[in-house]
Amino acid sequence: MRKQNAPVIVVGGGLGGVATAVTLGQQGMQVRLLEQSAEIAPIGYGVQIGPNVLPMLARLGLGEEVLQAAYLPDDILLLDARSGDTIFRIPLKGEAFERRFTAPYIAIHRVDLHEILLRACRKLPNVDLNQATTVTSYAQQGDTVQVRTADDRTISGSALIAADGLRSRLRAQLHPADIWRDTGYVAHRTIVPRDKAPSRMRDRRGVTMLTGAGFHVIYYPLRGGDEINMVGVFQVPAALEPADVEYGRHIAALTAGAVPEVQDVLGVLNMTRRWAIADREPVRRWHEGRVTLLGDAAHATLQSLAQGAGMALEDAVTLGELMVAHPDDPARAFAQFERKRFMRTARVVLESRALWPQFHAGGVEAEVRNAQWQERNAEDHYRCLDWLWNPKEERR
Ligand SMILES: Cc1cc2nc3c(=O)[nH]c(=O)nc-3n(C[C@H](O)[C@H](O)[C@H](O)COP(=O)(O)OP(=O)(O)OC[C@H]3O[C@@H](n4cnc5c(N)ncnc54)[C@H](O)[C@@H]3O)c2cc1C
């Protein structure tokens, strides 16, 4: 265990921040995690976790536990929301998949994943979890980083890792001109017990996505198949609020003519709470001296490849290993971290961005997309996803 008095400060108790606290804490570092919420309460819905991610969780000794809590979907099925035609199907099980990828593709309730990470954190006496602590800014001098909190406290540490999400305040301090990029789309999410879900949904055992002009819906089983996670993503004028009558009318018009499976999802979707769909421009210089960004704060992405949480978890493990390699030189670890992670995360952001209009195309564009994607077989998809699902350092 290394000698270290001032803790490493981690801001943000999301998946990225908590995983970072686990990885540093397991190496014997003093860690102080600061989360703005009154309780670091795991919230959320389902997340898909690509085969690139489970090996990361395994390095934290959590692979088996996560696998136990996960659902293993049979495939990713993309359907045309107007015709119901299959656009592509990517099998996630079977000999060809297993030959190419080292770990399974999983779907897991974010609460379960977060809980597993939080439990691992709580077992570490050198990790101090602080709730109701909103960080407003940082300053650094010599070997010390100080953060200011909304309730006027100053907390000192040896380094600062900002895992404060898409709307990161600490990124704003590092890159004042940079702002998240809103797409004009919003997501609504719901989880329903399987036996309460429409029968068409109960029959599908994979990740099913139906895509239309200006919207998509996606659903998949969780928790041994006992629950079904659903997401509806819609292009909505900025002025419309979910409580407005016009909001419902707008979504009804957007999805008019869609196959009954889309209406099934709409029938059970919670339309009161929504998430803005936004990403960040890939920007170099995540770090400044003893301060670095991590996770969405560094490289928030659209959901097209379902890899935002995956990238945050990869970040956490990579950064932890670099900090152990350079225990007295966080600035060096942070510079190497960015060098190791920038291109991969930028590619996730930019490929996700390029897929977005294709997923939401209409008219001739949708017909051409369908024709192009229908030409691809499973091996073609595996080859396209290889860089992502099978990163070089994970190949055995
Ligand atoms: C609809 C939708 C579906 C998604 N599906 C998937 C998927 O299938 N697979 C996948 O991999 N990813 C998915 N994602 C993306 C994924 O949720 C994020 O990329 C991931 O949660 C980022 O983790 P993070 O820890 O970096 O940030 P966050 O989870 O945003 O955590 C940031 C934390 O910082 C705290 N915080 C913020 N500001 C401060 C402050 N000033 N002081 C203290 N604390 C602060 C917040 O309260 C929060 O707890 C999806 C996202 C959405 C919106």
Q: Which amino acid is at 165?
A: G
With cut-offs at 50, 70 and 90, classify the pLDDT of residue 4: low
Cβ of 307 closer than 6 Å to ligand 1, yes or no, is yes
Pocket test for ligand 1, best of 293, 303, 341 (most atoms within 8 A of CB): 303
- CB of 36 within 8 A of CB of 212? no
Query: Which residue, 5, 70, 20, is CA-closest to 296?
Result: 20
With cut-offs at 50, 70 and 90, classify the pLDDT of residue 396: very low
Cβ of 135 closer than 6 Å to ligand 1, yes or no, is yes
Report pLDDT for 41: 60
233-242, pLDDT tens digit by residue?
Answer: 999 998 899 9
What's the chain's length in residues? 396
Nearest alpha carbon, ligand 1 atom 30? 165
> In which element (H, E) is residue 386 found?
helix 378-389
Beta pairing, strands 159-162 & 154-157: unpaired
What does the mean pLDDT of the chain come to? 94
> In which element (H, E) is residue 187 found?
strand 181-193
Task: Quickly count: other Cβ atoms within 10 Å of residue 134's Cβ.
Answer: 15
Sequence ranges of the domains in the chain: 8-72+104-179+279-356
User: What spacing in Å lies between the alpha carbon of 117 and ligand 1's midpoint?
Assistant: 14
Q: Which amino acid is at 90?
A: I
With cut-offs at 50, 70 and 90, classify the pLDDT of residue 1: very low
Nearest alpha carbon, ligand 1 atom 15? 308
pLDDT surpasses 90 at 42: no
End-to-end Cα distance, the chain = 29
For residues 17 and 316, give the distance between their C-alpha atoms in angstroms, rounded to a whole number. Answer: 8
In this prediction, what percent of the chain has a pLDDT beyond 70? 97
**What topology does CATH give the domain 8-72+104-179+279-356?**
FAD/NAD(P)-binding domain (3.50.50)
For residues 382 and 384, give the distance between their C-alpha atoms in angstroms, rounded to a whole number. Answer: 5
Tokens of 314: 């990869």
Bridge-partner residues for 71, per DSSP?
107
Burial class (CB in 10 A: 0-12, 13-18, 19+), 169: middle
Of ligand 1's listed atoms, the one at least distance from the Cα of 40 is 49
Over residues 47-74, mean pLDDT: 97
Report pLDDT for 394: 44
Cβ of 190 closer than 6 Å to ligand 1, yes or no, is no
17-36, pLDDT tens digit by residue?
Answer: 999 999 999 999 999 999 99
351-366, pLDDT tens digit by residue?
Answer: 999 999 999 999 999 9
pLDDT surpasses 50 at 392: yes
Report pLDDT for 395: 41
Tokens of 30: 């003093």
pLDDT surpasses 50 at 197: yes
Beta pairing, strands 207-212 & 31-34: unpaired
82-136, pLDDT tens digit by residue?
Answer: 999 999 999 999 999 999 998 999 999 999 999 999 999 999 999 999 999 999 9
CA distances from 151 to 34, 130, 135, 144, 328 (A): 13, 13, 9, 21, 31
Cβ of 7 closer than 6 Å to ligand 1, yes or no, is no
123-134, pLDDT tens digit by residue?
Answer: 999 999 999 999
- Across 355-388, b (16+ Cβ under 10 Å) vs e yields ebeebbbeeeebeebbeeeeebebeebbeebeeb
pLDDT surpasses 80 at 140: yes
Cβ of 16 closer than 6 Å to ligand 1, yes or no, is yes
User: What spacing in Å lies between the alpha carbon of 203 and ligand 1's midpoint?
Assistant: 31
Per DSSP, the three-state class of 383 is helix
For residues 16 and 174, give the distance between their C-alpha atoms in angstroms, rounded to a whole number. Answer: 19
Tokens of 60: 């934290």
> In which element (H, E) is residue 97 found?
helix 95-100
Report pLDDT for 2: 47
Cβ of 306 closer than 6 Å to ligand 1, yes or no, is yes
User: What spacing in Å lies between the alpha carbon of 44 and ligand 1's midpoint?
Assistant: 10
Q: pTM for the full model?
A: 0.96
